[in-house]
A = this chain, B = another copy of it.
Amino acid sequence: MTLDLAAPVEVLAKALIDLPSVSGDEREIADQVEAALRACAHLEVTRLGNNVVARTTLGRAERVVVAGHLDTVPIASNVPGRWADDGATLWGRGAVDMKAGVAVQLSLAAALTEPTRDVTWVLYDQEEVEETRNGLGRVSRERPDLLQADFAVLGEPTGGVIEGGCNGTLRVDVTVQGKAAHSARSWKGVNAIHHAAPLLQALEEYEAETIEVDGLKYREGLNAVGISGGIAGNVIPDSVTVTLNYRFSPAWPLEEAKERVEKFVQAAFTAHPETLERWQAAPDELALVYSLVWTDEAQACRPGLDAPLARSFAAAVEATGAESPRAKLGWTDVARFGVLGIPAVNYGPGDPELAHADDERCAVSQIREVRAGLEAWLTS
């Protein structure tokens, strides 16, 4: 079996679904994708592990990256795929996340021999597993030159709407100090859990901001996602750790986002001077009242929808009947482009709520619409 990139895009999507490629097992699909793209004389193809990069080299003024991942989550009796609703729906693992999107990309990579912008098609592996294995991450580390572009489109399912950029995410462990003592003589200790009250109170009162970036609205979030403290049922706890997760808009570079969290924590405690006084009145003065340890950080990505290149893309997509672009709130691989300084958006067929579902399925009309949107943009 070889992939026929000239087939109708939904037929190509089904062929991709029928080629199992659970994360870590992408060799065969990568081999077939590579072979099919190498057959296109207008593309310069590079293979890096199970990642395939195919570029036009027409010397255009602008270059865009269009990327998609080849892997899926594990199969749930939904491979091979099947047609439903008299052929209007394609069922199967990856119908949404994201073999329909990959089919759009491969179909256009073969068809568009002379796009108006140079295009770098990136098909990568291991997106559905831990971050360190991510194929796009590998390409960006080992061959960042291959990803250089003015704009990037990631084909993740968005229901055929442009979802621009993505929020960043930070995790930090805030540890509040206390002093252990037997709970029958609690006044000899300092209760760290009690002293975390101002932080929780500040979180309870916190109203997440919605911040507009390049015309899109990013709703933020600052949440305790974990808390733990206590030694034993008869001991005053000597520390408590609150894990905070800050989802921050592309308005803030990583360092500024961290500063915002640091200031929030500091303000929480200084707003409750009585707690600070209790600390200072503690039997042995506690040098450190709280400390922050960053455990996870991923920067946000701007949508770049204010640039002419992106505006033309948005116009082409809206011409397919799609809704206006909106902000992407979850963190996605577009942020890898953010790290390289390339604005990026998500745009692909399929209802994201059905990704990973046992009854994963996609409307054929949406696959065609997304193909039409991208084609219009790359040929206008």
Contact = CB atoms under 8 A, between A and B. Distances in A.
B183 A225 contact: yes
A362 B219 CA distance: 68
A187 B240 CA distance: 25
A191 interface: yes
A223 B186 contact: yes
A203 interface: yes
Contact of A331 (B184, B195, B204, B331): B184
B275 A204 contact: yes
Interface stretch (A59-67, A115-123, A126-134, A230-238): A230-238
A78 interface: no
A329 interface: yes
A187 B219 contact: yes
A242 B191 CA distance: 13
A107 interface: no
B228 A208 contact: no
A249 B187 CA distance: 15
24 contacts: A167-B184, A169-B184, A184-B247, A184-B329, A186-B247, A191-B223, A191-B224, A193-B223, A193-B225, A193-B226, A193-B227, A194-B203, A197-B200, A198-B201, A201-B201, A204-B275, A205-B274, A224-B230, A225-B232, A225-B234, A225-B235, A225-B237, A227-B227, A234-B245
Interface of A: 167, 169, 171, 182-187, 191, 193-198, 200-201, 203-205, 208, 219, 221, 223-237, 240, 242-243, 245, 247, 274-275, 278, 295-296, 329-331
